[in-house]
Amino acid sequence: MTAEVSSVIEEYLEAIYRLQERYGVARTGDLVSMLGVSPGTVTNTIERLDRMLLVVHKPYRGVQLTEEGRRIALNVIRRHRLLERLLVDVLGVEWCKAHELACSLEHWINDNITKKIENILGSPKKCPHGNPIPTEGGKIPKEDECLLFEVSVGERVVVSRILEEGHVTLSYLERVGVKPESLIEIIERSPLNDLITVRVDGKVHAISRGVTSLIMVRRT
């Protein structure tokens, strides 16, 4: 991390990357919700990032990362996901709590420490929630996957990753048995399409549209 790129800037670039990956663009309202700050703070910071040539901001159309902004964001995400693996695999931290702890640590380790962590862990490819870990060069693999919400009744799919890594969401998914590599069968959709009934490990659960829109799966 350089003097010009503070932990706050890294946090914003990481959030923009995550939103851009999910929606194609990051909007002010989504950044407010994700970062827990005021709209005015988000607007001021985006203007600063725009001046630094780290994002392209089009009023009323959202924010996208520039090539340099994406490079920094992927470096932060690499540190974050390796820290999650360290916390879970080595220190025994619960799967649903690793994200918040990694958020508090990711800005304070350099590339050298990150590489040492990667070597200790045996160069893992994914974080505990199934999300790919970027390489040193900023490469990130793509899988043939879709949202659980998009799967038709009768299909069977395997969970590839969880997009939302907050404690509340992950705790709920753990209770219903949904984790990376879980096998899910779609049983039914409600008339309003707001609930999807699934079978996981022989048990049936009704999961909201909001939650199924946070789960990426691959067809078997």
CATH assignment at residue 11: 1.10.10.10
Tokens standing for 51? 């001046």
The residue written with tokens 């600063």 in the block is 48
What does the pLDDT profile of the chain (220 residues) look like in tens digits?
344 689 999 999 999 999 998 888 999 999 999 999 999 999 999 999 999 999 999 888 899 999 999 999 999 999 999 999 999 999 999 999 999 999 999 999 999 999 999 999 999 999 999 999 999 999 998 889 999 999 999 999 999 999 988 889 999 999 999 999 999 999 999 888 789 999 999 999 999 999 999 999 999 8
Element (H, E) at 98: helix 98-105
Q: Which of 121, 69, 128, 61 is nearest to 90 (CA)?
A: 121
* Boundary (domain end) residue, out of 141, 162, 181: 141
The domain that holds 209 is classified in CATH as: 2.30.30.90
Element (H, E) at 56: strand 55-58
Shared domain for 12 and 61, answered yes or no, is yes
CB 18 within 8 A of CB 24: no
* Boundary (domain end) residue, out of 101, 124, 141: 141
pTM of the complete model? 0.90
SS3 state of residue 29: helix
Q: Which domain holds residue 129?
A: 79-141
